[in-house]
Amino acid sequence: METYQATFDTWNQLAHQYQEKFMDLDLYQDTYDRFCQLVETPSARVLELGCGPGNITKHLLRQRPDFTVEATDVAPNMVALAQANNPAALCYVLDCRSLDKLTGSYDAILGGFCLPYLSALDCQKLVQASAHLLPLGGILYLSFVDDDPEKSGYETSSNGQHTLFVHYHRAVFVQEALTASGFALVDTIKKNYLPVNATHTILLARRI
């Protein structure tokens, strides 16, 4: 619990700095476009987890204005920015570890780099909860840093003033979690994130 609290505090305090750095980052936009292509349902109901300042939601609504997007984050300051940046979306505070508390259903769920802040067990629970919220054919997007879990630990923010606990997961682990929860892998996309020389993996899966 302490590791999660440290991460929550950091994201809440760095919301504006995060927005300045990543709001216009275009490295992953092709993966969001692929997500939009896979979601064939008109006026689809989409849930975003870990929305930050709403950069992904903004891109989704630009590409698919028919989407009804609920953008969620554990950090209230992030949610406030997301709502300001996306007046057409419904933005609210949600710890993605409590995804199983949501009712209703969605046509697609997108978690952009939530997994690096979740333990292996919580990753599995998130995938399981997503399966319960999606109909057959529903799309799930997950991105994470593909590396040795033994490297997981506290890392310091760029200004050296904040710490957060980062979890690394192997792609095969996430793929197995998807399969176990009734998903079929549709796409695997790799991105080289040069600032820290890391491999970022994006998995797109369909509930079957």
Burial of 132 (0-12, 13-18, 19+ CB in 10 A): middle
pLDDT in tens, the chain (208 residues): 567 888 888 888 888 888 888 787 889 999 999 999 999 999 999 999 999 999 999 999 999 999 999 999 999 999 999 999 999 999 999 999 999 999 889 999 999 999 999 999 999 999 999 999 999 999 999 999 999 999 999 988 766 778 889 999 999 999 999 999 999 999 999 999 876 778 899 999 999 9
Which residues make Cβ contacts (< 8 Å) with residue 11, sequence separation at least 6? Answer: 18, 52, 73, 74, 75, 77, 78, 164
- DSSP symbol at 146: B
Kindly report the CATH class assigned to 2-207: alpha beta
Gap between the Cα atoms of 203 and 78, Å rounded: 24
Q: How many helices (H) and strands (E) does the chain have?
A: 7, 9
Listed by start position, the domains of the chain span: 2-207
